[in-house]
Amino acid sequence: MKRALGRVFSTEHRRLGVMYLLLALAAVAVGTTLSLLMRFHRVWPNAVLPYFGVMKPEDYLALVTMHGTLMIFFVLTTAPQSGFANLVLPEQIGAKGMAFPRINATAFWLTVAAFLVLISAAHITAGGAPISGWTSYPPLSALPAAGPGQGLGMDLWLVSIGIFCVAAWLSAVNMLATILGERRAGMTWGRLPMTVWAWLVASILTLLAFAVLLAAVVLLFSDRHFGSSFFIPMNDMINGRVVGHGDGSPLLWLHLFWFFGHPEVYIAVLPGMGLATSLFANFTRRRVAGYKMMAGMLVAIGLLGLAVWGHHMFVSGMNPYAGTAFAMVTMAIAVPSTVEVIGWLATLWGGGLRLQTPMLFALGFLSFFIVGGLSGPLLAEPALDAYLHNTFFVVAHFHLIMAMAGVFGVFAGVYYWFPLMTGRLMNEALGKVHFWVSLIAAYGTFLPMHFAGLAGEPRHYDRLAGPATNFAALIPVERGITYSALLLAAVQLVFLWNVFVSARRGRVAGENPWQSTTLEWANGTAPTRIEAGPYEYELPQGEGGFHPQWESAPKLE
Amino acid sequence: MPATFTRNPVDVERKDTGIGGKPPYDRRPTGGGGDGENWDNHPHGRRGPRELLIRYRLGVMFALSGDLMFFVALVSAFFVRQSAGHFDAYNNFTSDWRPLAVPPILWLNTAVLLLSSVTMEMARRQLFHEIDVMEEWLGLGRPAVKRAAPWLAATLVLGLTFLAGQWVAWEQLVRQGYLLSSPDPSSHFFYLITGIHGLHLLLGIAALIAALVGLFTLKKVEFRQIAVDSVSWYWHTMGLFWAFLFALLVFFQ
């Protein structure tokens, strides 16, 4: 019993990495189910669904809230960063372990607690889950009387996010101290694998952004319970009663939230970018084109990402000149992103691609990154955003570039590092089925949303044709999207089957099954001093074609 | 040109520098830990008493950066809220902000907190006094602890005094009619800012007590140094934050 407890509450980083990934798996399962319920309701609004019966509009909004919260916080912030970094970061930099193993473990268990509190917000409260979205704008989120689920459900949501903020802070402190202080001798900044650069930038963003979110959550909690009015405007009226007694400003919440919210989406996608770089090098057997530039662009994206939050607020009524400033910085951030893409393409171009499953998912990441990224500069223009804000165009944009790219990055990582977790390889045929069907179904789900958005279809409406709205012409599009979404969700079962069956009966992997150069595959043979670069491929055939980082200095060219 | 270019050791020329010349300088990149504290190129874990200290200082520094962002968010909310208002029935822009006169005891509390930073620094330096540290490391008693402990205790007393003074300030405000639940936003901010800072200081007090206990129970001198060093950086930072927050409450309403 004591040993079992010791194993569960372990501070060993690889075990924590796997536990983070399992937590993310639970969250994505719930989040996907919620999204399917949403899709069902949009196309068949009067259908009787399990658990809801006939869904009411507030139920739909509750689904929107929980789907967004679960996916962004508990899937995209945990799996790519905490999950994989705990799995391989110490090995990749030649460290013995994380700098603060117990703080690391504490952060994990706090994340679990936050998850449980969030789930309870939906189930144990009389009013149900909150309906104010993952962005929880006041006054809707600041006043319990403002809507169903905005009482105890909203409070529990705030508590959950508050706990998550503390967990993220601890995790970031641990990761930064590890990357800066625990590198092995010889592991210079120029020899770090790109994944480590990505985790470094993402950790800095985590440290800065989540602190601001925590402050915002505290202020919102104060508005709800201590009679303050940080966010509730004067003479605000809810249900015919004046509730606003102070000169609060909902715009203040928007500023605070999006100062967190924009770096958050970069935290979600940067680890995938680093992993894509690593995988492209690995599976083309070539060095990373412009390593320093690629690393520098990750840093540039992180830095600029702290300065663009206003592009979520173009139509909020803020000063239009501020909008111009934010628009310019947002357009500027397209530059390092494009440089990254060009770097990837340069690494890939003319290379003999080994199209194994991790590489396929990395290519899928690249595809989603480009397609999703192309709609970014469109939304960055305040003039265009005035029309497109809160339409399905925005939904298409962030689902392609953050959700699908991020998730494909997670898939790539799972397939790639599966041998490290289990000693076995996942099934290639099933992996290819998983990849192709997911790719096509994802595009089938999210590409049509661009057109729906351009046609003016708003977000957060629970039905398209009713007393208040008439987007009935878009129902066929929505039906197509729903079928694609169902297919997308269904093929994930293939992935789950692959994971759990391969873990027991998969083909036994060798020592370095992908013939990688990075240190996590060194299997304990790394020297006391690192002398090689992270991506020493392209060497003459006599040497096996590549020079792992755990061997002594490569020959001069 | 790859980012890595390690010279073959055979190729390094060794010129005869003659009398008074400098010895050959090893310019190879050494990675984390290979500079400063690792002049002998020892492997990880065997680089001496400062190795762990540097790791903990890194951790404390990053943690405090996050905390700084938290307070920055609160301060920016303060400024935004101050300038917020609405148009009344006569189309005048009015605000509900009434500057709050800070209870004068806060000046005394600030002096106490700054003094506690002085005593904290004295404690920290006593614990890093080279000769005493050597004696402790060799097992010849605990002279550094004997010197540092009273200063640490003094910091603890001053910290508790500060918190007591803050509580008195709160009572004074309540008696004047400014409660947390008053509609007055400057009142909200006063309680919020002093309350959150006070909470942080309470954690600091707990850390001080833990460090004080650790001075007598921790077996290695490195751990004792780390305990007091970490607490001291946290304590100084809380003092610095208070200086800014106090200036905010007094001069920027």
- Whether the predicted pLDDT of A463 surpasses 80: yes
Highest mean pLDDT out of A148-152, A458-462, B236-240: B236-240
Among A247, A294, A316, A518, most B C-beta atoms within 10 A, so best to mutate, is A247
Nearest CA in chain B to A190: B3
Reported as a single tens digit per residue, the pLDDT across B72-104 is 999 999 999 888 888 888 888 888 888 888 999
Angstrom CA distances, B22 to A237, B16, B38, B140, stand at 80, 10, 20, 39
Name the band, by pLDDT with cuts 50, 70 and 90, for residue A294. Answer: very high
Reported as a single tens digit per residue, the pLDDT across A389-400 is 999 999 999 999
Closest Cβ–Cβ partner in A174, A191, A247 for B4: A191
A372 alpha carbon, distance to own chain's centre: 14
Buried b (16+ CB within 10 A) or exposed e, A521-533: bbeeebbebbbbb
Contacting residues for B111 by C-beta, under 8 A, at least 6 apart: none
pLDDT of residue A324: 96
Q: Give me A306's structure tokens.
A: 């702290």
Contact call for A207 and B192, based on CB within 8 A: no
pLDDT of residue B26: 56
Closest approach of B106 to chain A, Cα-based (Å) = 23
Reported as a single tens digit per residue, the pLDDT across A187-213 is 999 999 999 999 999 999 999 999 999
- Whether the predicted pLDDT of A7 surpasses 90: no
pLDDT of residue A62: 94
- Whether the predicted pLDDT of B3 surpasses 50: no
A202/A199 Cα distance (integer angstroms): 5
SS (H, E, C) B181-210: CCCCHHHHHHHHHHHHHHHHHHHHHHHHHH
Count of residues for chain B? Answer: 253
Reported as a single tens digit per residue, the pLDDT across A97-122 is 999 999 999 999 999 999 999 999 98
Reported as a single tens digit per residue, the pLDDT across A129-187 is 899 999 999 999 999 888 888 889 999 999 999 999 999 999 999 999 999 988 888 89
B98/B189 Cα distance (integer angstroms): 12
Reported as a single tens digit per residue, the pLDDT across B133-180 is 888 888 888 888 889 999 999 999 999 999 999 999 999 999 988 887
Closest approach of B224 to chain A, Cα-based (Å) = 17
Contacting residues for B241 by C-beta, under 8 A, at least 6 apart: B67, B68, B71, B197, B200
Angstrom CA distances, A181 to A91, A97, A185, A533, B58, stand at 14, 11, 11, 19, 8
Highest mean pLDDT out of A311-315, A351-355, B44-48: A311-315
Name the band, by pLDDT with cuts 50, 70 and 90, for residue B1. Answer: very low
The residue type found at B6 is T
The residue type found at A176 is L
Name the band, by pLDDT with cuts 50, 70 and 90, for residue B14. Answer: low
B4–chain A Cβ distance below 8 A for any pair: yes
Mean pLDDT of A294-310: 97
3-state secondary structure of A307: coil
Closest Cβ–Cβ partner in A211, A234, A554 for B67: A211
B183–chain A Cβ distance below 8 A for any pair: yes
- Whether the predicted pLDDT of B16 surpasses 50: yes
Closest Cβ–Cβ partner in A207, A228, A247 for B95: A247
- Whether the predicted pLDDT of A23 surpasses 80: yes
pLDDT of residue B24: 59
Closest approach of B101 to chain A, Cα-based (Å) = 19
With beta carbons less than 8 A apart as the criterion, state whether A380 and A311 touch: yes
Residue predicted with more confidence, B24 or A315: A315
> Which CATH number is A2-543 given?
1.20.210.10
Closest approach of B246 to chain A, Cα-based (Å) = 19
A222/A230 Cα distance (integer angstroms): 8
Name the band, by pLDDT with cuts 50, 70 and 90, for residue B11. Answer: very low
Residue predicted with more confidence, A329 or B16: A329
pLDDT of residue B35: 47
pLDDT of residue A93: 93
Domain boundaries, chain B: 50-95+104-251
A303/A77 Cα distance (integer angstroms): 18
A7/B50 Cα distance (integer angstroms): 32
3-state secondary structure of A49: strand
Contact call for B3 and A532, based on CB within 8 A: no
| Tally of CB atoms within 10 A around A542 | 6
Mean pLDDT of B30-35: 47
B177/B171 Cα distance (integer angstroms): 10
A81/A271 Cα distance (integer angstroms): 6
Q: What is the pTM of this model?
A: 0.92
Q: Give me B32's structure tokens.
A: 């984390």
B143/B135 Cα distance (integer angstroms): 8
With beta carbons less than 8 A apart as the criterion, state whether A242 and A236 touch: yes
Reported as a single tens digit per residue, the pLDDT across A520-532 is 999 877 787 888 8
- Whether the predicted pLDDT of B22 surpasses 80: no
SS (H, E, C) A296-325: HHHHHHHHHHCCCHHHHCCCCCCCHHHHHH
Contact call for A96 and B96, based on CB within 8 A: no
Q: Which residues of A fall within a CB distance of 8 Å from B80? A: 249, 252, 255
Q: Which residues of A fall within a CB distance of 8 Å from B62? A: 172-173, 176-177, 207
pLDDT more than 90, % of chain A? 77
A134/A88 Cα distance (integer angstroms): 31
Mean pLDDT of A27-44: 94
Contacting residues for A351 by C-beta, under 8 A, at least 6 apart: A284, A285, A286
pLDDT more than 70, % of chain A? 98
| Tally of CB atoms within 10 A around A103 | 18
Q: Which residues of A fall within a CB distance of 8 Å from B185? A: 228-230, 246-247
Contact call for A533 and B97, based on CB within 8 A: no
Nearest CA in chain A to B187: A228
A85/A107 Cα distance (integer angstroms): 14
B75–chain A Cβ distance below 8 A for any pair: no
Among A13-27, A428-442, A463-477, B138-152, which stretch is predicted with the lowest mean pLDDT?
A463-477
Buried b (16+ CB within 10 A) or exposed e, B2-19: ebbebeeeeeeeeeeeee
Domain boundaries, chain A: 2-543
pLDDT of residue A557: 45
Strands A241-242 and A237-238: antiparallel
CATH fold of B50-95+104-251 reads Four Helix Bundle (Hemerythrin (Met), subunit A) (1.20.120)
Contact call for B44 and A95, based on CB within 8 A: yes
Reported as a single tens digit per residue, the pLDDT across A237-261 is 888 888 888 888 999 999 999 999 9
pLDDT of residue B2: 41
The residue type found at B217 is T
Contact call for B31 and A188, based on CB within 8 A: yes
pLDDT of residue B161: 97
Name the band, by pLDDT with cuts 50, 70 and 90, for residue A449. Answer: very high
Q: What is the mean pLDDT of chain A?
A: 93
